[in-house]
Amino acid sequence: MRRRIPILLCIPALWWLAACSNDAAPLPSAPSVPTIPLDANRVIPPGCQTITAQQIASLFAPKYRAVATVGYVVVLLDVATGRKTPAINDMYKLWDFTLKTYYAGKMLGGQSTDTQNATLAFGQALYCLVGLDGSTLTLNTTPLDPDNVVQVVFPSSSDQTVVTGSQEGGLMIPGGTLSQPVTISVQLLSGTFTFPAGPLNTKLDQYGPFFEFKVVPAQTFTTPVLAAACISAPNGGTPPPSVDIAHNVGTGIEILPTVPVNFLNCLGGGFAPKRSVFQLVQDKHYGKALKQLGSFAMDLVSPRPLYASAGGIGGKTKSFSPFGGVDTAVVMQLPATFPVQPQTAAAGSDVASPPSVLVQTANGHTPLGGASVTFAITAGGGSLGPASSATAVTSTMVTTDNTTGLATVPNWTLGVGQTNTATANASITLPTNISGLPTTGAGISLSGNPVTFTATSTDLIPYGAPNYVFMSGAAGIAPGFEQPGYATTDGWQTGPAAFGSANVGASCPSLVTTVGTTWLNIPAPTDMLLRKAFTLPAWWSTGLTVGIAIDNDFQLFVDGANVTPTTSPAYDPTSGFVKHEGCATQDSFLVPVTVAGGSHLLAIRARDRGVAAYVDARLSVTH
């Protein structure tokens, strides 16, 4: 008895094409519609909607009502006799017939909202009848739009495609992928997406059009299927070659390695959807309808052929979600606000703007977080870490900020070399979070490496330095002034070097323009006492040199210790001063000193024995 049921299912369709040997032949009158058994409710699973003859009659036009009714009765019999697999297969045949009828506009009510809802309800009831979840079945909100398609796909050993009518979006299912029929939809996502944004969970530049791929029942394929779309640039042109197809996975995306596509037409002239059997019959092309249909009711399991078209970006995936193009090319560069290089700072001190880079998308210029940026000292010594660090930090990794896309080192302390350089090299290795969004898949191409930073280190204390603490007066004033704890209160002032007498121009005119603070040197002899604090990073170990310009004599102290060069030929052991005659010249005396990292005090007692007076000093790295 069961073997006769497919024959019954075919009767309406075969009757429908009985006179199709001649395109001009008229259609015969419709046969009577089979009756749904009155006890059908006995086989309907609890919670499932019961489909009645009246419901089918209100949905299907008379000429298709018999096929739908017979198909439904066959499914009922399968369920009633416990034939689960045949029930599922027969259900999909009926659902496929229903979709074809709906898309051909041959349902009662055409493609109105009411008809769409009734068709969906009919499909959901069929799914429920055979124990499948059809709650997510969908028909497109604009079903006549060629950018959308809903299609039943049956198991096949051949590759099959599901392609929109415009041929700008679709997928290819490899032969052997499916073990049972499924309903697959490809729908163009509605809404306005302004480049570089889109519906994908990413800050990478997005390129549309964007399609939603769905399979019912929802499942993860054991064999990857090829999803593809005709991705274009915002102006309608060709997207960058770095654009890959990607889709949402959880709160992030998966970027799919690009696979060639041969079943889309991305040349701007997509073919119109193939005319359906129903349209051919309506136009009285019965022979063409018969040739296209074959055995209409029985051969619903035939695979859809591959389209021989061009273009598209594809990628293999095992799960469905919204798909679109993302640009995997990002770039690292200097922030627009970064100062002109080279920067200048004293050796052992920080530059004003520490090394900083911006990582952003190549075309949308969207800042990207999550990039790993390695900063490294490449010349001049120095450190990229805090000055309090016991050792110099010559390399450090910083992650770009999710909001600004910036990676910045805490500070750049210049080293002993006059020319200091540092570099930044960035990378994004998947899987990772890009701007806080999980990103997996094919990979990111990052350009711009390396970014180079340059700086020139100057003397720790240069000639003409500001902010000396000073006092002048009679020879021998303020004993102990060179000690770090000495109180510089009464009589002490602050001013810039050099310190020179008002009449220095009379004997040494070249020094006039260098005088920053007047030395009241009358009556002679007089002393000028100078104190200047300086700080070295904790990791500092390089020796320093003090250069002196003096007229007449000097004593030198560092951290309260007398470091006056007693081995100098100009040293006078009687007075304890190094003596100098004539006009002062820079670096007349060079005194090496050794100090560790930390805070220090340079102190000078300069003495004038009459006429012109002048003193200045610098503290530099010993080379």
pLDDT digits (tens, 9 = 90+) for 72-94: 999 999 999 999 999 999 999 99
Q: Is the pLDDT of residue 40 over 80?
A: no
The residue length of the chain stands at 623
Distance of CA 235 to CAs 32, 195, 239, 270, 569, Å?
Answer: 57, 10, 9, 18, 81
pLDDT class of 15 with cuts at 50, 70, 90: very low
Distance of CA 342 to CAs 5, 261, 352, 382, Å?
Answer: 87, 51, 11, 15
CA torsion 454→460→463→468, rounded to 10°?
130
Q: Find the helix or strand (DSSP H, E) in which 86 lies.
A: helix 84-103
Please tell me what DSSP assigns to residue 475.
T
Q: Is the pLDDT of residue 126 over 80?
A: yes
Predicted local confidence at residue 46, as pLDDT: 86
The answer to whether the peptide bond before residue 41 is cis (omega within 30 degrees of 0) is: no
- Rounded to an integer, what distance in angstroms lies between the CA atom of residue 359 and that of residue 563? 51
Q: Find the helix or strand (DSSP H, E) in which 91 lies.
A: helix 84-103
Pairing of strands 437-441, 252-255: parallel
Q: Find the helix or strand (DSSP H, E) in which 85 lies.
A: helix 84-103
- For every residue of 205-237, DSSP letters joined together read -EEEEEEEEEEES----SS-EEEEE----TTSS
> Within 10 Å of residue 50's Cβ, how many Cβ atoms?
11
Which residues does 583 contact at the CB level (< 8 Å), separation at least 6? 507, 508, 510, 511, 551, 612, 614
- Rounded to an integer, what distance in angstroms lies between the CA atom of residue 513 and that of residue 501? 12
pLDDT class of 25 with cuts at 50, 70, 90: very low
- For every residue of 378-407, DSSP letters joined together read EES--BSS-TT-SS---EEEEEPPTTT-EE
Instruction: Let me know: does 502 contact 580? Beta carbons within 8 Å.
Output: no
Domains of the chain with CATH codes? 1-137 (no CATH), 142-271+309-327 (2.60.220.30), 340-458 (2.60.40), 468-621 (2.60.120)
Q: Is the pLDDT of residue 37 over 70?
A: no
Q: Is the alpha carbon torsion for 197, 200, 201, 205 positive or negative?
A: negative
Which stretch of 70-74, 330-334, 549-553, 562-566 has the lowest confidence by average pLDDT?
A: 70-74
Which tokens is 323 given?
């798909």
pLDDT class of 288 with cuts at 50, 70, 90: very low
Q: Quick one: average pLDDT of 193-216?
A: 94
- Torsions phi, psi for 55 (to 5 deg): -65, -40
- Rounded to an integer, what distance in angstroms lies between the CA atom of residue 143 and that of residue 138? 10
> Within 10 Å of residue 194's Cβ, how many Cβ atoms?
8
Q: What is the pLDDT of residues 452-498, one digit of tens each?
A: 999 999 999 999 999 999 999 999 999 999 999 999 999 999 999 99
User: To the nearest whole percent, how much of the chain has pLDDT over 70?
Assistant: 86
Of 396, 426, 425, 401, the closest CA to residue 411 belongs to 396
Predicted local confidence at residue 302, as pLDDT: 40
Of 185, 150, 144, 153, the closest CA to residue 304 belongs to 153
Radius of gyration from C-alpha coordinates of the chain: 44
Q: What is the pLDDT of residues 56-66, one digit of tens each?
A: 999 999 989 99
Distance of CA 303 to CAs 89, 176, 177, Å?
Answer: 15, 11, 12
Instruction: Let me know: does 410 contact 537? Beta carbons within 8 Å.
Output: no
Mean pLDDT of the chain: 87
Q: Quick one: average pLDDT of 429-438?
A: 97
CA torsion 314→317→321→326, rounded to 10°?
-40
- What is the identity of the amino acid at 524? A
Instruction: Let me know: does 106 contact 61? Beta carbons within 8 Å.
Output: yes
